Structure 1
Amino acid sequence: MIADRKDDHVRHAVNQRSADTAANDFDCVTFVHHALAGIDSDDVSLAVDVAGKQWATPLYVNAMTGGSAKTGEINRKLAIAARETGIPIATGSMSAYFRDPAVADTYRVLRQENPHGFVMANVNATASLDQVRRAIDLLEADALQIHLNAVQEVVMPEGDRSFGSWPRQIEHITANVPVPVIVKEVGFGLSRQTVTWLRDAGVSVADVGGRGGTNFARIENERRPAADFAFIESWGQSTPNCLLDSAGLDGIGIAASGGIRSPLDIARALALGADATGVAGAFLDTIVRQDTDALVTQIRTWLDQLRQILTVLGARTPAELAGCDLLITGDVATFCALRGIDVAALAHRSPRWHESNDRGGVIHE
């Protein structure tokens, strides 16, 4: 039954991408263009610091799948793509492994195909400490992801209905595992209050996992015989809203996933305060509809295009994007107004580049 559900999730997720409109709240975030702000592309580094480690890029393959023969093959292809492009990768929820150790290889393949890469194990908030340690050991994981999916669970016909123990269990796991802990939503967003609580609980990174990408409420509703939960499909906050809501919080890293469609969305997320950005749906679509080589090409193209965006904006590192001027409009501006977030300040935060930056380029006579 679990294997069938994992295969259903992949099928519905791929179909959802072909049916969804391309628009989301990232379209409400625009860079102010300064025509003389550009730098040399060779001066740009995409390296970022996440969970106490340096990653070569701010892009990672986010949690997707595992637990069946079909999803194990998807994980194998994703791991090869991560290895060939040097980006971190997370496995999907390992609940199926806890219930049936026979499916271990559908997850272990991420490490087998990517022996030197940064690999994250993924568990739910009800996992016991023993299960968590087994997951970390199986993958020789560099970090642990704990996913929060209460909305998905209540729509899932066979899902959990008890969430009161989650905070206590997250604290317990965080205090007793040997790797950094990343807590992520699965598409409904993390509020500032939630991120603050995670920080105080010792969590290293909060992945805001906002609305705008794969919609698990819709997926689970399509699995219900009566499909009677459609009213909840728009639940939660978008990724840009979550990033703006959590701006300025110290003591915890911020990752952004949910609705990342292009290198421009990556740059937008970084400019809104993310340290790194995770992609699942767009990469899953490429793997399922094309092949591993196509995904490797896509990732390399995205990283090159991201570098060129930083070049035009005059940002030598992803972190410097947080100083670029942004215009916040539409539904995101409305959210900010209601949450007391000053978006006008974001439009005037860059230094006067001609005074503050050394532009020692070649003068052509």
Structure 2
Amino acid sequence: MEETWRWFGPLDDIRLEEIRQTGATGIVTALHEIPYGEVWPEEAIRARQAMIAAAGLRWSVVESLPVHEDVKRGSGDLGRIFANYRESLRNLGRCGIRTVCYNFMPVVDWTRTDLAYPMPTGAVALRFDAVRQAAFDVLMLRRPGAEADHPPAVIAVARDWLARAGDAEQATLLNAIMAGLPGAYDRYDIPGMRRMLESYRGIDAAALKSHLARFLREVVPVAEEAGIALCMHPDDPPRPIFGLPRIVSNRQDLADLVAMVPSRANGITFCTGSLGAGVANDVPAMAREFAPHTAFLHLRNVTKEADGSFHEADHLGGDVDMPAVIAAFLEEAARRRAAGRGDADLPFRPDHGHVLLSDAGRRTHPGYTLIGRLRGLAELRGVIAGLGYRAA
């Protein structure tokens, strides 16, 4: 399995030279400066590749080649958007990049309510708090129908929280929710968020899945020609949020995804944290079932609570049996290697590290610390080495 590291480009506070010292060999990044729906020019891709190569690393995975909101809504100038996406894939293929991660979450990407949740050790983690989520959705955003999506007991506590929260705390909550778009162009204030939600009126899970199927039919054949594996990231959290449908949250959703356009070019980014936040998800079983369709791994862990809250745990802590998951993918890598396939060295990255030691004070994207992720990588590396030794 290939050790990779997410890097947000030249403006990332973590330098490529630091990443090289982690032992990771592959970079996971994107051309975040290019607006959604526009073409990624070949010269821009090659320039970023050269920057990465100069540090002794390689651009292993694109994360993400974003899907425009119009595609998810099934509206607007889709012919142009699909054509641009196909051209970007062709350009990436010409540059030798073979793995492209994307997601199909409407409006917001991963969602957290607290970017500085204190752990018992003194570390700082990301957290999704059901009470603060209800406070934002029902009381700050005032989304029509929101009360039906939150238990009455949670809403009651949310009202108490909001009564005590000042403007600064409310602004911090909004910022936390928007932080899940780490490379995106758009950030929303509350009126902007309301407008975006209104644009999805009438789009339920079935409609969103139909829009996804159309997108895949439009782009997967070109990904095949370019030698690229497209791999969709699951929903985070894996449940409807802000009244928006989420359609890649559980075992059935993953099965539906790979069945829409059967192809090695239509695959999965298997994220243990996103799937692990789903109460009914058996993550090791899902890993075993969908390993043949997986092109990229996000390895992190979460600890869930009864009210739907969860926080980012240590990589080998939390509710997900990480060694069992890794074992499933090591077995899949061995099968691919035995079949002579070129995609046997599955790329994985440590995801959403805690704020540890000198991470504090650095201007890194939430969850994308240096030492916190380095600890996670070291732990994952140890599991991989141990399982490999046992199998030898």
Q: TM-score, normalised by structure 2?
A: 0.39
Structure scoring higher RCO (CA < 8 A, sep ≥ 6) equals 1
